[in-house]
Structure 1
Amino acid sequence: MINRLAVLGGTGDLTARYLLPALAALHASGHLGDRLEWTGAGREDWDTERYRQWIAEQFERHDDFSPADAKEAITAAARYVRADVTHPADVAAAIAGDGPVAVYLALPPALFPPVVTALHEASLPPGSRIVLEKPFGEDLAGAQDLNRLLADLVPEQAVFRVDHFLAMTTVQNVLGSRLANRVLEPIWNSTHIAEIEIVWDETLALEGRAGYYDHVGALKDMLQNHLLQLLCLVAMEPPVTLGERDLRDRKVDVLRSARMLTENDVVHRTRRARYSAGRIRGHDLPAYVDEDGVSPERRTETYAEVELELDSWRWAGTTFRLRSGKALGADRKEVAVRFRAVPHLPFGHSGEALPNVLRFNLEPEGLALDLTGIGAHTDELVPLALTARMEPPGLPAYGRLLLDVLRGDPALSIRGDEAEEAWRLLEPVLSAWEKDLVPLEEYPAGSDGPPARVWHADALRRREDLLHDPVIPPDHP
């Protein structure tokens, strides 16, 4: 286990909100002991004493859970280096010390290539590991170039392309629920499942992140990495083990099976929008284009929706819909598995069986199953719901990821070929949107999103529920 950590971007929001609480949680749970040495590198003209003051301030703001002694230990273990992280000499000072080091790039993605180049020249100690936040690159060509740079720096198993979604308890229980329960896996296929929605809708708006978000947008920020990762876990074939090779091989299989979208597909199967002025939870919110730091001419979307199909034996005919939006009226963060209708109802005409829906709630974490039951009269159908809450995780998601990095277990990180496949899948969407083939719609902040429309797959599903026939992939007009 590595006991040295260097955080490039050590004064940024990611460090303050997530990495510091994660380190404190690891210390409190006994995973770090007193051996951890860690360095924060930033552009501020600080010394270590001032940096430790800043750390204490961030713990006050962002960590209400870790015990005081754990926070104090993490604060005392820190040192600070003022650095231009693209300059080899500064990077060498940040990673200086005895033995291998885990280098965490808590930086904007655009800085990854020059920082990795600087690490090449800074003589990274043997056995070291490198951690990169999402999104990995800005397009397919960028991801391929970055993979080549990394391959010259460290072995693939020492590269951790982290996505904290993969360390969330509910996300891991998508696999657990499938593979540990005989009742689910036999029906986990297109014969029984009509549609799977993977949704991350949030009431949060920019929250001061325009400098990053306006260059990325909802498609790159959420769908290209987080939601495609969820798609992989939902749709993958059962792996032989949960070891890094077996698990990551099966994830790549899912992305490779996804049908490439033509321009016509993008027009019919994707949506993009951004929020206009509105009101959320009693507070007025300006339009996205009026937020500080936003350049309206970029036409950045705050809502993205993509419909996919997988060309595989298990999933041919099931629709997968990925959606994420900001500044919406309600938080909805879930994987919703919608089953096909039953073939016959012996209850007359007084009711209709609603589709059974299995929901993996991501925040708050839990499970829910929507069923249809019999009411007071034997021919009356009523909706039923079964819910279960999960125990709070022992470690926060970033704590689990950091522990995997220090231990050298890349199972929950994204492999290089997987990162490239994710970009390959969404490049036709990015290209068509750049050509304005899909209109940039608007929705009021605090609403349900852009005006509802009937998706082609919705009409197809209704037709199939009547015929009870296997799904035939649609031909688009």
Structure 2
Amino acid sequence: MIHRLAVFGATGDLSARYLLPALAALRAAGHLGDRFQLTCAGREDWDGERFRHWVAGRLDRHGASWPADARKAIVACTRYRRADVTDPAEVASVIAGDGPVAVYLALPPAVFPAAVTTLHDVGLPPGSRIVLEKPFGEDLDGAVELNRLLADLVPEQAVFRVDHFLAMTTVQNVLGSRVANRVLAPIWNSIHIAEVEIVWDESLALEGRAGYYDGVGALKDMVQNHLLQLLCLVAMEPPISLDERELRDRKVDVLRSVRPLTEKDAVRRTRRARYKAGRIGDRPVPAYTDEEGVDPGHHTETFAEVELELDSPRWSGTVFRLRSGKALGHDRKEVAVRFRPVPHLPFGNSGDARPDVLRFGLEPEGLTMDLMGIGSRAQTLVPLTLTARMDPPGLPAYGQVLLDVLRGDAALSVRGDEAEESWRVLTPVLSAWSKDLVPLQEYPAGSDGPVPPRRDAPCSA
């Protein structure tokens, strides 16, 4: 296990909200001992005392659920260095120390190539690892080039392209539920499943993240990584084991089976939109283009939807719909598996029957089944909902991510070819959107999003 972690971009929102509290969680659970060292690098001209005060404040705010002594231990083991990731001397001062180091690039994706190049020039101690946040690259060509740079720096087994969704308990339960249950395993195919919706709709608006979000948008921020990863877990063939190679191979198989979208498909099967002024509850929300730091000329979407089909024996005929939006009227974060209707119903009100839906709640976590049952009057159907409680996770998702990095377990990270395949799936969409072939719609903040089109045209074969 590695006992040194160096975080570049440590004064950003990712560190404040997720990485620092995750480290406190690891300390509280006994995974980090007194040998652990945290070196943080940023562009702010701060001294160590000021930075530790900042860390303590962020832990009190975002990690208050963890014991005070664990938070204090993280503050105590932290040192700060002002560093430009393109300056070899400054980068060398950050990673200096005894033994291997895990280098976490909590940076915008546009900076990854320069940072990796500098690390190559400086050199990493043997056994070191490098961690990159999503999105991995900015397009397919960028991902291929970044993979080449990383291959010159460390072995593929030492590269952690993290997607914290994969460390969420419910996300892992998607795979567990479908392969470990006799009831679900035989019907997990297109014969029984008509459609799968993978949705991450949130009522949060931009929340001061224009510096990152306005150059990325909903498609790259959510669909290209998080939601495609969920697609892989839903659609992958049952793995022989849960080891690193087996899981990653099966995920790549899914991405390679996605039917390529033509330009016409991209027009018919994708949507993009951005929010205009509205209200979310009692809170007024300005239009996206009026948010501080937004350049209206970027035409950045805050809502993205893509409809995909898989060319595989298991899934031919099932529709997979991936959707994410900001500033919507309510949160909806789930994987909804919609089953086909039964062939015959002998009940008097059979016309009121609804197909069964299995829902994996992502946030909050949970499992529900919407189905039909007998009502209080004989021979009548009524909707029923079955709910399963889930034990709370022992670690937050980022806690599991960091623990895997320090231990060297890459099973839940994204392999290089997998990152490239994810971009390949969406390259036709990016191309069509860049040509304005798909209109940029608008929807009021606090609404259900843009009005959906008719769904009556299949994807091209």
Per the TM superposition, whether the score is higher than 0.5 is yes
Cα 1:12–1:350 change in 2 (3 A) is closer
For residue 475 of structure 1, report the CA deviation from its aligned partner: 5.4
| Percent of aligned positions that are identical | 76
Q: CA deviation at 1:154?
A: 0.1
CA offsets, 1:135-193, max 9 Å, x none?
A: 00000000000000000000000000000000000000001101111110100000000
Q: Which residue of 1 aligns with 2:422?
A: 422
Q: Name the residue aligned to 1:82.
A: 82
**Cα contact 2:374–2:382 (8 A) shared by 1:** yes
State whether residues 347 and 378 of structure 1, in contact with CA within 8 Å, keep that contact through their aligned partners in structure 2: no
* Partners of 2:265 and 2:460 within 8 A in 1: no
Paired residue total: 461
Post-superposition Cα deviations, 1:100-146, rounded to whole Å, max 9, x if no partner, equal 00000011111100000000111211110000000000000000000
Residue matched to 1:114: 114
Counterpart CA distance in 1 for 2:456 and 2:433 is 19
Partner residue, 1:184: 184
For 1:444 and 1:295, locate their aligned partners in 2 and report how far apart those are by CA, in whole Å.
19
Kindly report which structure 2 residues correspond to 1:154-303, keeping only aligned pairs within 5 A, or say none. Answer: 154-303=154-303
Offset from partner CA, 1:231-271 (integer Å, 9 cap, x none): 00000001111111000000000000000000000011000
Which residue number corresponds to residue 70 of structure 2?
A: 70
Q: Which moved more, 1:190-199 or 1:9-18?
A: 9-18
Give distance in 2, aligned partners of 1:8 and 1:212.
16
Q: Secondary structure at the match of 2:352?
A: coil
Give the Cα separation in 1 of the matches to 2:391 and 2:133: 27
Q: Distance between the aligned counterparts of 1:96 and 1:376, measured in 2?
A: 72
Aligned equivalent of 1:372: 372
The answer to whether the 8 Å contact 1:325/1:449 transfers is yes
Question: CA distance change for structure 1 residues 187 and 350 in 2, over 3 Å: closer, same or farther?
Answer: closer
* Cα deviation, residue 349, structure 1: 4.2
Which residue is equivalent to 1:323?
Answer: 323
Residue 312 of structure 1 corresponds to 312
Alpha-carbon distance between aligned partners in 1 of 2:123 and 2:222, rounded to the nearest angstrom: 34
CA contact (8 A) 1:196 1:319 kept: yes
Unaligned runs of 5+ in 2: none
Match of 1:29 in 2: 29
Q: Deviations over 1:401-429 (max 9, x none)?
A: 00000000000000000000000000000
Q: Is the 8 A contact 2:269 2:459 kept in 1?
A: no
Match of 2:135 in 1: 135
In the TM superposition, residue 453 of structure 1 has moved relative to its aligned partner by 2.4
Amino acid at match of 1:182: R
Q: CA deviation at 1:54?
A: 0.8
Residue in 1 aligned with 2:2? 2
Q: Is the 8 A contact 1:268 1:456 kept in 2?
A: no
Residue 43 of structure 1 corresponds to which residue in structure 2? Answer: 43
Question: What is the Cα deviation at residue 49 of structure 1?
Answer: 1.4
Could you say which residue in structure 2 is the equivalent of 1:397? 397
Per-residue CA deviation, residues 355-393 of structure 1 (Å, 9 max, x unaligned), is 100000001100000010111222321000001121110
8 Å Cα contact 2:175-2:233 kept in structure 1: yes
Q: Which residue of 2 aligns with 1:383?
A: 383
Once the two structures are superposed, what CA deviation does each residue of 1:250-295 show, in whole Å capped at 9, x if it has no partner? 0000000000000000011000000010000101101011111111
Instruction: Give the 3-state SS of the residue equivalent to 1:152 in structure 2.
Output: helix
Q: Which amino acid aligns with 1:384?
A: L
Residues 474 and 156 of structure 1: CA distance in aligned 2, closer, same or farther (over 3 Å): closer
- Cα distance in 1 for partners of 2:129, 2:349 equals 64
Q: Which amino acid aligns with 2:305?
A: E
Match of 1:93 in 2: 93
Gaps of 5+ in 1: 458-472
Q: TM-score, normalised by structure 2?
A: 0.99
Deviation at 1:348, TM superposition (A): 2.9
Contact 1:351 1:379 in 2 (8 A): no
